[in-house]
Amino acid sequence: GAVVSQHPSWVICKSGTSVKIECRSLDFQATTMFWYRQFPKQSLMLMATSNEGSKATYEQGVEKDKFLINHASLTLSTLTVTSAHPEDSSFYICSAAASGTVSYEQYFGPGTRLTVT
Amino acid sequence: AQSVTQPDIHITVSEGASLELRCNYSYGATPYLFWYVQSPGQGLQLLLKYFSGDTLVQGIKGFEAEFKRSQSSFNLRKPSVHWSDAAEYFCAVGSGTYKYIFGTGTRLKVLA
């Protein structure tokens, strides 16, 4: 149980275009989802926290207008990188949390590799 | 402020040798503690977690970790390392808001 998927697993886009990444909880309802960014050989950097039906809460330094997050249902959150540039190339990982768990555990997706050319 | 420290950026061990990866945290309340492993280009896989009860926690792949409140530590151990254990290991501290604080990671290299 507690499987989280991401789509696509990798994507290449041209500079100036937008790209959408989906994060789905497959077998549980995720009241909270998180989006992380990971640079090579570095730790995960939390970008934002999203709760179903609410606006996402962005971490300091993360551009809200560039990284649009939507958590429209209890099983789906999307991250849209708008007007992407080469510096947005990175590994993006989502995670999901189900309410009511005693360990407050996040379940992680497999990640999406974004390359902007 | 809450923080997680993994003092060792890189560790190299020989196959069959024992392993200990260190994790120290700073957190005001009782923390929820996690160890994850990440292979190159992959997502995170949970090795084990602690949130209450027995302070020695058993995980997958033969890993264990011990929560020591007095030392604010949650070190990961394995008695005999396999070549397939080579990866990046992350310690994380959680709270009642589901939000994690990640350590900087320890990269494990295993010598044949």
How deeply is B51 buried, as exposed, middle or buried, from its count of CB atoms within 10 A (0-12, 13-18, 19+)?
middle
Name the residue in chain A with its Cα closest to that of B103.
Answer: A43
Model pLDDT for residues A6-18, shown as the tens digit of each residue: 999 999 999 999 9
Q: Residue B42's closest CA among A114, A6, A111, A22?
A: A111
Name the residue in chain B with its Cα closest to that of A34.
Answer: B99
Question: How much of chain A exceeds pLDDT 70, in percent?
Answer: 96
Residue A102: per-residue pLDDT: 64
Model pLDDT for residues B5-61, shown as the tens digit of each residue: 999 999 999 999 999 999 999 987 778 999 999 998 888 999 999 988 889 999 999
Model pLDDT for residues A40-68, shown as the tens digit of each residue: 888 999 999 998 888 899 999 999 999 99
Question: Mutation test of the interface with chain B: which of A6, A24, A105, A107, choosing the one with the most B Cβ atoms within 10 A?
Answer: A105
